[in-house]
Amino acid sequence: MGSFVVSVAASSRHTFSKRPQSAVTLLAGRGVAGDAHEGETVQHRSRVRRDPGQANLRQVHLVHAELHEELAEAGFVVRPGDIGENITTRGVDLLNLPRSTLLHLGDSAVVEVTGLRNPCRQLDRFQSGLTKATLARDDDGTLVRKAGIMAVVIRGGEVRRGDDLRVELPAPPHLPLGPV
């Protein structure tokens, strides 16, 4: 079946959850058109307070649908857009992609992976215990953040649910993702 876009979502307000849409338009260097986090500089309120001029490495939030299924098995009800993601994917291990991976979405849009979303207490405000459910430890004891990845838009275009998703890895050496 391949890798594809399960859902797209946006919110013009700084809300935790984003409403699923039939399509979103990605704008090069800015993010999702009309989304509260669209912009060349950081738009997340806590980050704006610290340094409003910093580059926006969090223009697009992507979550793998497989996380929603894992959370459902643990008793949570999480649908596309619920935890703030703009794009829900299937068939790609987003968390293990190297930094600077290019994701080709639909006919023309391309985003570059910048890092991991750091799960925050807003997850627990949405559903009690959700923050802990999106964190784990690997065999070495390293913290694993499962709440998705962040990206910047390299080439704009429309993205719809059902669109193909193609992964283009960067040249080695591959750098692991860290929180952004």
pLDDT at 161: 97
Beta-bridge mates of residue 54 = none
Residue 75 identity (one-letter amino acid): G
Q: 96 is written with which tokens?
A: 């293990």
pLDDT score recorded for residue 116: 98
CB 170 within 8 A of CB 100: yes
In whole angstroms, what is the distance from residue 80 CA to residue 161 CA? 11
Map out the domains of the chain as residue ranges.
4-168
Token pair of 28, please? 């090069």
Q: Residue 46 has what pLDDT? A: 77
Please report, in tens digits, the pLDDT of each residue of the chain (180 residues total).
699 999 999 999 999 999 999 999 999 999 999 999 999 998 877 777 888 889 999 999 999 999 999 999 999 999 999 999 999 999 999 999 999 999 999 999 999 999 999 888 899 999 999 999 999 999 999 999 999 999 999 999 999 999 999 999 999 999 999 999
* Buried b or exposed e, range 85-103, using 16+ CB within 10 angstroms: bbbbbbebebbebebebbb
Cis-peptide into 173, omega within 30 deg? yes
Please state, in angstroms and rounded to a whole number, the distance separating the CA atoms of residues 134 and 70: 10
pTM here is 0.95
Assign 100 to helix, strand or coil.
Answer: coil
- Give the model's pLDDT for residue 1: 65
Q: Pick one of 3.90.1150.10, 2.40.33.20, 2.60.40.10, 3.40.50.150 as the CATH number of 4-168.
A: 2.40.33.20
pLDDT at residue 137, as a whole number: 95
Eight-state DSSP code of residue 177: P
Rg (C-alpha) for the chain, rounded Å, is 15
Residue pair 65/88 in contact (Cβ under 8 Å)? The answer is: yes
Terminal Cα-to-Cα distance of the chain (whole angstroms)? 31
DSSP line for 79-112: -TTTTS-SEEEESS-GGGPPTT-EEEETTTEEEE
* Length of the chain, in residues: 180
